[in-house]
Amino acid sequence: MGQEKLASLSFLEKKENLILYGSVGTGKTHLSVALGVQAIAQGKKAVFFRVHDLINQLEDDDPKKVSKVHKKIHQADLLILDEWGYLPLHQEGARMLFEIISACYEAKSIIITTNIEFGRWKGFLFDEKLTAAIVDRLVHHSHMLMFTGKSYRMANSLMK
């Protein structure tokens, strides 16, 4: 997917997903947020969650808070899930993530930032069938953008 096509957000109209894959510090989150801001500027609704924070919010004891999170996601045109696979999920968290992905499938666009290849997703989702179902739904209408190079943070660290 070229820069011009990406910047036009045409993937949103088609309910396509973006998987931003690459090393730590290469700009995946930065681009996902920029695309979310661009979507909002175009009158769309975008929501951003770090995956672990989303699961924690969905596990809240207050059903009103959980309902509010589901409503935010349901109303969004774009769901951004950052740090996909950075921390392992427990079985219930993985099930909740599957439900979110399934509800969004062909209904809205999802952007995922990750540094973990598909073959290792089972390591943080813990269930082979669940992992296969999530990958299947995400990949069906997705573009993968590869991020290479050195970490921006490391290259610009004050500790030299």
Tokens describing residue 127? 């269930």
pTM beyond 0.85:
yes
Q: What pLDDT shows up at residue 35?
A: 97
The overall average pLDDT reported for the chain is: 91
Q: Could you tell me the domains of the chain?
A: 10-151 (3.40.50.300)
Q: What pLDDT shows up at residue 40?
A: 98
- Which residues on neighbouring strands pair with residue 84, listed in sequence order? 114
pLDDT band, residue 20 (cuts 50/70/90): very high
CB atoms under 10 Å from CB of 93, counted, come to 21
- Give yes or no for a contact between 36 and 46, defined as CB atoms under 8 angstroms apart: yes
> Which is more confidently placed, 155 or 63?
63
b/e per residue, 9-29, with b = 16+ CB within 10 A? bebbeebbbbbbbbeebbbbb
Q: What pLDDT shows up at residue 122?
A: 82
| Interval 134-152: pLDDT, tens | 999 998 999 999 988 776 5
